[in-house]
Structure 1
Amino acid sequence: MDIDDRAGRPGSDREDLERQVQDLVAPLIPRFSPGLGRLRLGFNTAHYDQAASELEAFARPLWGLAPLAAGGAAFDHWDLWRAGLAAGTDPEHPDYWGAVFDRNQRLVETAAIGLTLALAPEQIWDPLTGRQRDTVAAWLRHAVTVQPNDNNWLFFPVMVGLGLRRVGVPHDQDANTARLDRLEEFDLGRGWYSDGPTWQRDYYIPFAMHFYGLIYAALGDDPARAERFRERAATFAQDFQHWFTSEGVAVPFGRSLTYRFAQSAFWGALAFAGVEALPWEVTKGHLLRNLRWWADRPIRDAAGLLTIGYGYPQPHMAEQYNAPGSPYWAMKAFLPLALPAEHPFWAAKEADAPALPEVCTQPEAGVALMRCEEGRHVVLLSAGQRNPWARHGAAKYAKFAYSTRFGFSVPAGTLKLEQGAFDSTLALSEDGEHWRPCELPHDASASDGVLHARWTPWDDVEIETWLVALPPWHVRVHRIRTGRALRTAEGAFAVDRDRPPTRVDTGPGRARLDSPNGLCVIEDLSSRREGALVVALPGTNVFAPRTTIPTLKGDLPPGEHLLACAVIGLEGSSSASASAGPDAAAGWPEPPAWASIEPLLGPAPTP
C-alpha cells in the first residue's frame, strides 16, 4: 500500500490518535459512580476486590488521557477524573478506594495517576482544594512505602514519585532509588530484561520494563540511569521489530493479551524518551500499523467498551487478574501524544516495515522468529518459557509455535482432543481421555534457528524437543524415553473453520487443510503416525472462535522413540484452487527433507 493511501484511515497520524483516545473514553463517561470515584464497567471476576476493580477502570484510561492533555488537545471531562481522584483518596468519602498495601492491585493503578500528575498537573491537581491535595498526596505517599512484587511492579512507586515530584510533594526517594537498582539487576544483556526472577520473556518486557524505564529516562533526574535505559531500549528495538508483520500484526504470545495494542506502546515510548533506535519514520510505522490492525478487530461491545479477550470477546482466555477495566491498559499506546506536533516522530512520514532476515534467533527469550510470505506472516518458535501461575500458562508460553495468522489456542478441558485444542504442541495420554501437553520445559537453548528443551510430563517419561526454523516450514523433533505406553497427538496450527475448506487430505503421515482462511499442513517425518482433522471446541483460539487443527496421532510402547514432523501455515487458497476439489492430493507444499534437518540437531538419533 502506498503511504499516501493511508490518509484518513484509523491510526493515520497524530490527530487521528487523539480522536481514538476520545472515542475509547466516551463510552466510559456514563459509567461513573454517583460519587465519581469509581468506574463501573461490569461484574468483577478478578482475584482482587470490587473497589480495586473500579479503581482500575478509573485509572487506566489516564494512560491515554494524560498524554492527550500534555500534547495540548482538549478533553471535556477532566472534571470527572479530578473529582474522582479527590473522592477515591479520601477515607471519609463513600467512594474511597482503600489504602494501598503490599503487593496489592491498587499499587498497579497508582502508576497511571503518577504519570498524570507528571504530565498534566494543570488538569488533575492544580484545581483541587487544599484539603483535596492533602488527601491525594497522603494516599500516594503511602503507596511509595509499600512492598511491590519483585518484577515490573517495582516501577509503580517510581511512577508515583515522578508525579509527586512534579507537583512539589516530598516522598521517600531513597526507596525508589533502591527499586530502580533492583530493576536493573534484571538486565539480561542485548536489551532484554526478565520480568523479575522468572522465565517469562513476553510483552511485559516492551510494555512494562522498557515502557516505564523510558518514561523515567524522560522525566527523572538521574542522567546516568536514564542513559542506560535508553541504550537498552535502542538495542531491544532491533529484536522487537521481528515480532511484527509487515502489516503491523504482532505475534500473540504470553499472558495479558487482553491489553491488546499495548503491545505496540514500546514504539511510542521510544519517541517519548527521544530514542531514535530506528529511523523515526520506521518507528512511527510500527506503532501506526498495529493500531490500524486493531481498529478492524471486533474487540468492543455494543456500548463501545473494550472487552476481555484478544481477537474477539473471549473471557475464557483471561488471567485471574483481568477485571472489566483491565483492557484499558491498551491506552499506553498513546503516550507519544504528549509530544508536540513538530517532534521528529510526528513530523516523519510513515515508512513501510523494513525488510528483515527470514529467521531471527533471540536466545535471551528462548525464541526464534520466522518471517514468511514476504513478512506478512510471522511465526514465533518457543522453547524454555514457562508460567505455572497464569491461567492457561502452558498454552500461552510452552507451545512450540505462535502465529500472527493462526494465533494459538487455550484448552477448554483435558478429556478429549477437541477440548485440549492442542495446536502447536505434542500431547500425551495413557487412556486416550486425559492428555498432557508440554507445560514446563527446562534446560533450554536457542542458537541459529534451532531451539532445544527437555520436559517430563510423568516421572518416568522424559522428552527432548528440537524446533528448527526453515521458513516457511518449521520442524519438530522429539526424543521420547517412556516407562509406560502412551498415545500421542501433535497439532499443527488451528485454522478458522467459518469458511469451508477447498480441499483436505488426511492419511498415514499427513494432515492437510486448505481453505480461504488459511492453508495448514503437518507431515510426519518419522513415518509412524496417522493424520486427522480435530474440530476444536469453540472459543479456544485467540483469533478465530471456531477452528480445525490438522493433527498427527499415534501410539508408543514403553521404550525410546523419535518422532519428527514438519509444519507449515500459509495464506489460504483462492477460488481458483477450489476447482481442485475437496480431496485433491496434488499441489501441497513439499516438506524439507530429513537429510537437511539431521545435521542441525546434534546428538538426536535418526528416525
Structure 2
Amino acid sequence: MTPPYLALPPTDRVLSPRTGWTRAHWEAVADRLLDALVPHASPGFARVLPPGRGSWSGLVLDGLEGFARGFLLAAFRIAGAGGEVRPELLERYARGLASGTDPASGEAWPEITDCSQQMVEAAAIALALHETRPWIWDRLSPGVRERVVDWLAGFVGKRTWENNWMLFQTVTEEFLRSVGGPHEPAEITRGLDRIEEWYAGDGWYTDGPGRNFDYYNAWALHLYPLMWTRMSGDEGRAAVYRERLREFLGTYQHFFGADGAPIHHGRSLCYRFACLAPVWLGALCDATPLEPGRTRRLASGVLRHFAERGVPDRAGLLPLGWYGTFLPATQPYSGPASPYWAAKGFLGLLLPPGHAVWTAPELPLPIESGDVTAAIPAAGLLLHGTRHDGIARLVNHGSDHNPPPPAEAADDPHYAKLAYSSRTAPDASPDAFRRGVDNHLALLDGDAVSRRARVHPLACSGRQASSWHEVRLPGGEEARVESHSLVRGPWEVRVHYVTAPARVAVREGGHAVAAASAPETARGDGWALARRPDGLTSAVVGLYGWREAEVAAAVEANAFGPRSATPYLWSPGDPGVLVSLVVLSGDAVHPGALREAVGVDVQGDSVTVVFPDGDRATVTPAAR
C-alpha cells in the first residue's frame, strides 16, 4: 500500500485546479484521525494514548494530551457541521469529560498546578467546549458541568511559563467566565498585555523574552488572542490582532513550497499542519490579505503534501517526526499524542461549507507565478522561493530561541543554522550536531567545533540580511563571526568576516540533502555538491578565501531520510574575509560554471559581488 493511507473522495480539478482537494477531503482526513484514536482510548475515553515515546510529563498526562487535542479536532469537525456528525463522536468526548473529572472513575485528570502540562490541555478543552457549546456543553448533566468547571478553575491563581503559555490561562478563564465559573479578570488580560511586550513588528511576536521567532507565531501567538476575542467579544483588541495577523500572513504565505511543504525550522515540528492555523484564522476573522481561493490552495496543498507522504500513517496516526518517526526533531516535552496539535490546522472547518474559502476556485501561490523574496526585518528572517522548482528557503539572521543575556545561550540545529528550506532539514542526530556541518560557518580549533548560539541581527531588507555571533574558543579566547547573505533566485551568497587567531580553521556547509539511498556526490576545483535521486541538489562554491571542498555524509541524522550528505568548504587558517555561494535547487546545478560567472572583488573589508545578470551588491562589515 502506498500513501495516502486513507480513503479520500474524488478530486475536483474544476474547483481546485492546483490540488484537487475540497472540504470533503478535509473532513475525510479529520474523521480518519479521530477514528484512529479510538483503539488507544481508556474505557471512559478520558485518556487517549497512541503508541510512541513518552514525554517527560509521564503517561497520565500524555493520555490527557491525547484526549484534549483530539477533542479540539473533534470540536472543529462538530461545529463546522452544525452538530450533524455521527452521534458516537459527540458521545466519546462527552464521556471523556465526565470520566476525566470524576475522582471515582479511575481516569481522573490530575489537578492543574503551576507550570504544568495540564494548563496546555485545559486551554484546548476550553476552546473545544466553547465551539461545541450547543452540542456538548449544553447537553452535559449539571453534575458533569460542575466538575468540568471545578477542574478548569484549578487554573485560577496559578503561575505559567513566560511564553505562549500565558495565553492558555487567558482562554481557559474566559471560558470559565462565560459559564459563570471562577475566574480572575486580571489573569485573563495578563497574557494579552504581556504579548504586547513581545510584539516585534511586521506581524511577528517573539515567544517570550529573547528572539524566539518560529511557528509558535502561527499556532499560538496569533491564534489564542483572536480565538479569545471570539469568546469575549472584545472588538478593541480584536482590531489590533486582526491587523497584525493580516501583516503576518503577507509574508507567512512564502513559508511554503509549491508542493505544500512548510519550511523545516524551529521546535515542535511534529505538529506539522498546525502551521495552517493562522491561514484559516485570517479567513475566519476577516484578517487576511489572501483571496479565498489562495487560502484554500495553500492549506490544501500542505495537508495533501503530508497525506501523500504517509501522514497519517497506515494506522491513521500522527507519529513523532516529520514524515515518519524521527525523534531528533522532537523535544522531550513531546509525547505520543503531542502531534495532535495538528488539530489547529483544521480550524478552517469552522467556516461553513458555503463560505468563499470552500467555494471559490483555487488560485496559485505567489511561488507558482514567479520567484519570490520577502524580508521580515523585525525577526531577521529573509525568504526566497523559486517558481521552477517550487522550493521555499529561509535565511536566518534573527532567530535563536535563547533567553536574553545574561542567561547562557545554547545552540539548536533547528534554530542556529544560517538557512532552512521546504525540501531539506538540518542533520540533527547527536553525532551530526557535534560535527555541525550543514548551513553553519564553523571555527575549528583542534577537535573543537564552534557554535552559533546567540544571534545578533544587523540588517534585513530587500534581498539581503546580516548578523553576527560570538565564539568562545577552547582556553577562553574569544572570536567573532559576522555573516551577510545576499539572495538571488536559488542562490545565497554568504560573506563572512571572521576575527579569530590565525591557527583556527574554518568550514562552511550548505544544505543537507537526505533520501532513502545515499545522495550522489561530486567535487571539483573550489566546489562540491550532493544530489538526491530525485534531482534535488545542494552545492557550495568557494568564491573567495576558501582552500578545499568536500562532502560530509551522515546516517539516521535527518528527518527527510536515513542517508544524508552536505557539501562544504574548508580553509586551514587565518580566515579573515570569506565568500561562498550556497545553492539549493531542483534543477541541474553546474558549480564550475557558477564559480566562473559570479564575480567577487575584495578591497580591504569591502566586498562587491557581481551576479551573472550584471547586478552588483557591495557588503561592508558593521561598525563595532
TM-score with structure 2 setting the length:
0.87
Partners of 1:37 and 1:9 lie apart in 2 by 40
2:459 corresponds in structure 1 to 445
Q: How does 1:453-464 map onto structure 2 within 5 Å?
A: 453-458=467-472, 459-464=477-482
Partners of 2:201 and 2:579 lie apart in 1 by 34
1:526 corresponds in structure 2 to 544
Instruction: Indicate which of 129, 133, 151 corresponds to 1:121.
Output: 133
Which stretch of structure 1 is more off in the superposition, 41-50 or 145-154? 41-50
Q: Structure 1: which amino acid aligns with 2:76?
A: P
Which stretch of structure 1 is more off in the superposition, 286-295 or 482-491? 482-491
The one-character-per-residue Cα deviations of 1:547-570 (angstroms, maximum 9, x if unpaired) are 11111123114xx62222101111
SS of match in other structure, 1:200: coil
1:581 corresponds in structure 2 to none
Instruction: Indicate which of 250, 273, 278 corresponds to 2:262.
Output: 250
Alpha-carbon distance, 1:331 to partner:
1.1
What percent identity do the matched residue pairs reach?
Answer: 30
Q: CA RMSD in A?
A: 2.8
Partners of 1:19 and 1:546 lie apart in 2 by 34
Q: How does 1:157-236 map onto structure 2 within 5 Å?
A: 157-169=169-181, 171-236=183-248
The one-character-per-residue Cα deviations of 1:565-591 (angstroms, maximum 9, x if unpaired) are 101111155xxx9xxxxxx98766866
Q: Structure 2: which amino acid aligns with 1:424?
A: N
- Contact 1:118/1:167 (CA < 8 Å) preserved in 2? no
Partners of 2:243 and 2:197 lie apart in 1 by 15
Instruction: Indicate which of 382, 403, 406 corresponds to 1:368.
Output: 382
- Contact 2:160/2:166 (CA < 8 Å) preserved in 1? yes
Partners of 2:263 and 2:483 lie apart in 1 by 22
Q: Structure 1: which amino acid aligns with 2:550?
A: A
Partners of 2:191 and 2:545 lie apart in 1 by 55
2:496 corresponds in structure 1 to 478
Partners of 1:349 and 1:87 lie apart in 2 by 45
Q: How does 1:379-390 map onto structure 2 within 5 Å?
A: 379-388=393-402
SS of match in other structure, 1:171: coil
Runs of 5+ unmatched residues, structure 1: 578-583
1:555 corresponds in structure 2 to 572
Partners of 2:362 and 2:451 lie apart in 1 by 43
The one-character-per-residue Cα deviations of 1:206-258 (angstroms, maximum 9, x if unpaired) are 21111122222333221111111111111111111121223322211111111
Which stretch of structure 1 is more off in the superposition, 589-598 or 173-182? 589-598
SS of match in other structure, 1:131: helix
Answering whether residue 47 of structure 2 is matched by residue 38 of structure 1, we say yes
Partners of 1:21 and 1:498 lie apart in 2 by 29
Alpha-carbon distance, 1:361 to partner:
1.2
1:536 corresponds in structure 2 to 554
The one-character-per-residue Cα deviations of 1:313-350 (angstroms, maximum 9, x if unpaired) are 10122112111010000111111212221222222222
SS of match in other structure, 1:121: coil
Alpha-carbon distance, 1:91 to partner:
3.4
Answering whether residue 599 of structure 2 is matched by residue 593 of structure 1, we say yes
SS of match in other structure, 1:556: coil
CA 512–178 in structure 1, closer or farther in 2 if over 3 Å, else same: closer
Instruction: Indicate which of 507, 523, 527 corresponds to 1:510.
Output: 527
Instruction: Indicate which of 88, 107, 124 corresponds to 2:119.
Output: 107
The one-character-per-residue Cα deviations of 1:463-489 (angstroms, maximum 9, x if unpaired) are 111122122210112211213622332
Q: How does 1:385-404 map onto structure 2 within 5 Å?
A: 385-388=399-402, 394-404=412-422
2:620 corresponds in structure 1 to 603
Instruction: Indicate which of 430, 439, 443 corresponds to 1:424.
Output: 439
Instruction: Indicate which of 56, 71, 76 corresponds to 1:67.
Output: 76
Instruction: Indicate which of 249, 258, 266 corresponds to 1:237.
Output: 249
SS of match in other structure, 2:555: coil
- Contact 2:276/2:299 (CA < 8 Å) preserved in 1? yes
Partners of 1:193 and 1:604 lie apart in 2 by 28
CA 152–28 in structure 1, closer or farther in 2 if over 3 Å, else same: same
Partners of 1:302 and 1:342 lie apart in 2 by 32
The one-character-per-residue Cα deviations of 1:462-517 (angstroms, maximum 9, x if unpaired) are 21111221222101122112136223322111123545667x53144211234533
TM-score with structure 1 setting the length:
0.89
Partners of 1:376 and 1:357 lie apart in 2 by 9
Partners of 1:451 and 1:233 lie apart in 2 by 23
Partners of 2:94 and 2:411 lie apart in 1 by 38
1:287 corresponds in structure 2 to 299
- Contact 1:150/1:196 (CA < 8 Å) preserved in 2? yes
Partners of 1:115 and 1:479 lie apart in 2 by 50
2:150 corresponds in structure 1 to 138
Alpha-carbon distance, 1:399 to partner:
0.6
CA 537–420 in structure 1, closer or farther in 2 if over 3 Å, else same: farther
Partners of 1:529 and 1:230 lie apart in 2 by 52
SS of match in other structure, 1:175: helix
1:567 corresponds in structure 2 to 582
Partners of 2:439 and 2:15 lie apart in 1 by 35
- Contact 1:566/1:591 (CA < 8 Å) preserved in 2? no
- Contact 1:308/1:318 (CA < 8 Å) preserved in 2? yes
Alpha-carbon distance, 1:139 to partner:
0.9
- Contact 1:320/1:391 (CA < 8 Å) preserved in 2? no
Partners of 1:55 and 1:31 lie apart in 2 by 12
Which stretch of structure 1 is more off in the superposition, 86-95 or 29-38? 86-95
Answering whether residue 36 of structure 2 is matched by residue 27 of structure 1, we say yes
CA 440–35 in structure 1, closer or farther in 2 if over 3 Å, else same: same
Partners of 2:292 and 2:344 lie apart in 1 by 19
Instruction: Indicate which of 276, 279, 296 corresponds to 1:264.
Output: 276
Partners of 2:181 and 2:138 lie apart in 1 by 13
- Contact 2:541/2:595 (CA < 8 Å) preserved in 1? no
Which stretch of structure 1 is more off in the superposition, 460-469 or 141-150? 141-150
SS of match in other structure, 1:413: helix
- Contact 2:438/2:511 (CA < 8 Å) preserved in 1? yes
Q: How many residues align?
A: 587
